[in-house]
Structure 1
Amino acid sequence: MKLIASLLIAAALVAPALSNAAEPAAPAAKADLAKGEATYTAICASCHGADGNSGSPAYPKLAQQHPDYLVKQLQEFKSGKRANAIMSGMAAGLSDADMKNVSAWVGSKESKPNFAKEKDLVVLGERIYRGGIADRQIAACAGCHTPTGAGIPSQYPRLSGQHADYAVAQLVAFRDGVRKNSAQMTGVAAKMNDREIKAVSDYIAGLR
């Protein structure tokens, strides 16, 4: 009887622990697209376009960008890890929920196609994007951003159709140590010269 009683007590103690362990984690809150659109329209649209397709080559196209990537960039603008006076100010007033909502909304918009302009550099740009530069151990862009420039969600951003001027500015910023929020990109850009940066950026603009 003592053995049975001991077993019953042990079972009673273990049962709550098993019950708690079996409880599923609470699902992450879904983005509110209506709130995202409202925040985007009020704060972001003047520079990035009403639907995320920026008309100015100085400002990146955000339409169809991976939401997780956009959230990460906004968080890093807010924290100062990514330096930009304009964007740091814009991100300062956004909560994590705001960032998630805005990123989900603009990411749901379709990116309008762009085109390459530098005919003399297109062959060089394609070679770098697809094959890298072996003798300087520069990795192919396509390895992370995919051959079409679609990127890999949450890890590597979409590049397809991005403004060439903006892409040049970011690669130069990585190379010169101004932008420091990706050690991988800093390492790649550090080995590239101005002509190579211009060529690959122009090629990216025309990717479909």
Structure 2
Amino acid sequence: MKKLTLVLMLMAGVASPVWAKGDAAAGEQKAATCKACHNDQGEAAGYPKLEGQHAGYLVKQLKEFKAGAASGGKEGRNNAVMGGMALPLSEQDMEDLAAYYSGQAMSPNTTAPEYVEAGQMLYMGGDLERGIAACTACHGPRGVGQSLAGFPRISSQYAGYIKSQLEMFRSGERDNDLNGMMRDVAAKLSDKDIEILSQYLGGLH
């Protein structure tokens, strides 16, 4: 029994999130540059909210932006602005930034009334006839995602950003999703579906 307990403790240690190494106070100082885009005015320019996002997901994205910049777009996630910002970051910088942003509260948005019913149906139940899986399977009923599984929080996010990312997954322009899961789902979404989901998620919290 003691051996079993020890094994479980060791496994828990191995499974502990790598972002536990991040220093939120250091991350706040390093985030001064990030806030130029990722602030309350970021919606108009298409920048996402970072507050309240899972630390592991933030670290993953920063590493992939850096890989995209370092490889000239052959690897990772490609974005000219974020690639340039991520390129000089060390792993510790990324951990610190993730620790800071994950500890902040994401401000809620609202959903226009005309999107509530259709958005809830598609998000919660998917569309069996078209083979569209319910978003809740990975992102949960409140859209907060699953940190250990690597599924991001998408509730309260800017509608414009969600729309742009779903379109990029659908076209294949963004391809850093786990096992192509988001590309598979997005490929089946119509423009109307994407509009409904992006608008609905802003008010989901």
The two structures have a TM-score, normalised by structure 2, of: 0.83
Cα distance change of structure 1 residues 149 and 197 upon mapping to structure 2, 3 Å threshold: same
Q: Within the alignment, does 1:137 sit opposite 2:131 as a pair?
A: yes
Structure 1: segments with no counterpart, 5+ residues: 1-23
Q: Which runs of 4+ in 1 moved over 4 A?
A: 24-29
Q: Within the alignment, does 1:160 sit opposite 2:160 as a pair?
A: no
1:34 to 15, 25, 38: 25
Is the contact between residue 64 and residue 106 of structure 1 (CA under 8 Å) also seen in structure 2? yes
SS at match of 1:88: helix
Is the contact between residue 145 and residue 157 of structure 1 (CA under 8 Å) also seen in structure 2? yes
1:115-163 Cα offsets, whole Å, 9 max, x none, are 113x333322111100001111111111110001111014100111000
How many Å separate the matches in 2 of 1:85 and 1:123?
37
Is the contact between residue 43 and residue 160 of structure 2 (CA under 8 Å) also seen in structure 1? no
SS at match of 2:31: helix
Q: Please state how far the C-alpha of 1:54 moved relative to its aligned partner.
A: 5.6
Q: Within the alignment, does 1:201 sit opposite 2:202 as a pair?
A: no
SS at match of 2:37: helix
Query: Kindly, what percent of the aligned residue pairs are identical?
Result: 44
How many Å separate the matches in 2 of 1:54 and 1:131?
33
Q: Within the alignment, does 1:68 sit opposite 2:56 as a pair?
A: yes
Is the contact between residue 54 and residue 61 of structure 1 (CA under 8 Å) also seen in structure 2? no
SS at match of 2:147: coil
Q: Within the alignment, does 1:148 sit opposite 2:147 as a pair?
A: no
SS at match of 1:120: helix
Instruction: Tell me how large the CA RMSD over aligned residues is.
Output: 1.9
The aligned amino acid for 1:56 is E
The aligned amino acid for 1:174 is F
Query: Which stretch has the larger CA shift, 183-192 or 121-130?
Result: 121-130
Q: Please state how far the C-alpha of 1:55 moved relative to its aligned partner.
A: 4.3
Aligned positions of 1:33-52 closer than 5 A: 33-41=24-32, 43-49=33-39
Cα distance change of structure 1 residues 54 and 142 upon mapping to structure 2, 3 Å threshold: farther
Q: Within the alignment, does 1:113 sit opposite 2:92 as a pair?
A: no
Q: Pick the structure with greater CA Rg.
A: 1
Is the contact between residue 129 and residue 140 of structure 1 (CA under 8 Å) also seen in structure 2? yes
Q: Within the alignment, does 1:186 sit opposite 2:173 as a pair?
A: no
How many Å separate the matches in 2 of 1:108 and 1:132?
31
Is the contact between residue 55 and residue 99 of structure 2 (CA under 8 Å) also seen in structure 1? yes
1:56 to 25, 43, 55: 43
Q: Within the alignment, does 1:171 sit opposite 2:166 as a pair?
A: yes
**Which residue of 1 is the match for residue 99 of structure 2?**
104
Q: Please state how far the C-alpha of 1:30 moved relative to its aligned partner.
A: 2.3
The two structures have a TM-score, normalised by structure 1, of: 0.81
How many Å separate the matches in 2 of 1:130 and 1:54?
30
Number of equivalent positions: 180
